[in-house]
């Protein structure tokens, strides 16, 4: 049972219920998150990803169905949802717009204090989190507003990490960052999984990013989960993904075109490294 960190069980959620504009944002959604997994959650704008994420941290309550965190129903009347929000951390889109404290240290220790840690404990947790996201010591006393865009985003992620989450959900964490910033942030997130065993849910519009980083991909469309599988398996459905406004990693397209042109390549390679090896192998 405890292999499953979190179970979403037949979630249904409707916006504007009972009005002419009623729309099912979640339509019978079920899946599990295992401890230490890196899951990519993809879907076009309006597919239900953000609604789902808000359910995972109990910001929205499903119309029917429920979520179990380590076996306990998080929508039960007496369930400690505040403690849950420490264990399941959510980094919103463009989190740097939500920074508000005067220094980086006070910003990052705000969450743990709020969770009931005393000042010293909270600052120690904050200190570790700030180091963890790769910010320099000089940053501690700086105003978060004086940092660069990429650094601000790291501060926002540190604020969530300081609460020592077991699951970390990040909504489009690389949006607006330059290419090097994107790579650095993704590498840092991968490290959180590899070194600290934190379960990661990465909500992304970049097929290339999820292909590169995720162990498993969940694809949502119109409030339903359409695919829930390993990246390679998911990206074999190129046409279906395109019909959903998504697509496949660029490398899948390259390999498909090479195969169509007669080169004997395995079209299931999805990362640049895999594609390169595949082409070199086919040409050897």
Partner 1 sequence: MKKKNKEAAPSAKRKVSSFLSIRNLKYEYIRRDEENNVEGITTAVDDVSLDVKEGEFIAILGHNGSGKSTLAKHINAILFPEEGEVILDGMDTKDEEKLLDIRRTAGMVFQNPDNQIIGQVVDEDVAFGPENMGIPTDEIAQRVEESLKTLGMWDYRDSSPNRLSGGQKQRVSIASVIAMHPKCIILDEPTAMLDPRGRYEVIRAARALNEVEGITIILITHYMEEVIHAHRVFVMDKGRVKMEGTPREIFSRVQELKEMRLTVPQVTELAWELKKSGLRIPDGILTREELVKEILKLVSSRTGVSS
Q: SS3 for 69?
A: strand
User: Residue 65 or residue 150: which is nearer to partner 1 going by CB?
Assistant: 150
> What is the contact surface with partner 1 in residues (CB under 8 A)?
43-46, 93, 146, 148-150, 172, 175-182, 205, 207-208, 245-247, 249-251, 253-254, 257-258, 261-263, 272, 275-276, 279-280, 283
User: Cα–Cα distances in Å, from 188 out to 56, 86, 92, 196, 225?
Assistant: 23, 20, 17, 11, 28
**Least distance in angstroms from the C-beta of 21 to partner 1:** 8
**Least distance in angstroms from the C-beta of 109 to partner 1:** 20
Q: Could you give phi then psi for residue 31, rounded to 5 degrees?
A: -165, 170
Q: Rounded to an integer, what distance in angstroms lies between the CA atom of residue 90 and that of residue 122?
A: 18
User: Residue 230 or residue 257: which is nearer to partner 1 going by CB?
Assistant: 257
**C-alpha dihedral (54, 56, 61, 63), degrees to nearest 10:** 110
User: Residue 96 or residue 123: which is nearer to partner 1 going by CB?
Assistant: 96
**Least distance in angstroms from the C-beta of 65 to partner 1:** 26
User: Residue 70 or residue 266: which is nearer to partner 1 going by CB?
Assistant: 266
| Tokens linked to 270 | 């999805």
| Burial track 189-215 (b if 16+ CB lie within 10 A, e otherwise) | bbebbeeeebbbbbbbbbbbbbbbbbe
**Least distance in angstroms from the C-beta of 56 to partner 1:** 20
Give yes or no for a contact between 139 and 150, defined as CB atoms under 8 angstroms apart. no
**Least distance in angstroms from the C-beta of 247 to partner 1:** 5
User: Residue 18 or residue 179: which is nearer to partner 1 going by CB?
Assistant: 179
Q: Rounded to an integer, what distance in angstroms lies between the CA atom of residue 66 and that of residue 44?
A: 24
**Least distance in angstroms from the C-beta of 172 to partner 1:** 8
| Tokens linked to 85 | 């929000």
User: Residue 72 or residue 175: which is nearer to partner 1 going by CB?
Assistant: 175
Q: Rounded to an integer, what distance in angstroms lies between the CA atom of residue 228 and that of residue 246?
A: 15
């Amino acid at each position: 049972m405890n292999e499953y960190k979190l179970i979403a069980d037949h979630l249904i959620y409707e916006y504007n219920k009972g009005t002419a504009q009623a729309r099912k944002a979640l339509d019978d959604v079920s899946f599990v998150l295992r401890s230490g997994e890196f899951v990519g959650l993809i879907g076009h704008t309006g597919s239900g990803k953000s609604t789902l994420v808000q359910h995972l941290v109990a910001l929205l309550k499903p119309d029917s169905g429920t979520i179990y965190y380590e076996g306990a129903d998080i929508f039960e009347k007496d369930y400690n949802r505040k403690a849950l929000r420490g264990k399941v951390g959510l980094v919103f889109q463009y989190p740097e717009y939500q920074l508000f404290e005067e220094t980086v240290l006070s910003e990052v220790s705000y969450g743990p204090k709020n969770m009931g840690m005393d000042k010293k404990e909270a600052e120690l947790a904050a200190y570790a989190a700030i180091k963890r996201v790769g910010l320099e010591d000089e940053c501690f006393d700086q105003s978060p507003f004086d940092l660069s865009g990429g650094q601000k985003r790291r501060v926002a992620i540190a604020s969530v990490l300081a609460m020592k989450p077991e699951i970390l959900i990040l909504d489009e964490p690389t949006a607006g960052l330059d290419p090097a910033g994107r790579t650095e942030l993704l590498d840092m997130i991968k490290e959180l999984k590899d070194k600290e065993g934190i379960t990661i849910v990465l909500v992304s519009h970049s097929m290339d990013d999820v292909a590169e980083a995720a162990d498993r991909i969940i694809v949502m469309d119109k409030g339903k989960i359409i695919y829930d599988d390993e990246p390679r398996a998911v990206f074999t459905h190129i046409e279906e993904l395109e019909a959903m406004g998504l697509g496949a990693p660029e490398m899948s397209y390259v390999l498909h075109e090479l195969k169509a042109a007669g080169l004997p390549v395995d079209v299931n390679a999805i990362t640049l490294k895999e594609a390169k090896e595949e082409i070199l192998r086919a040409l050897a």
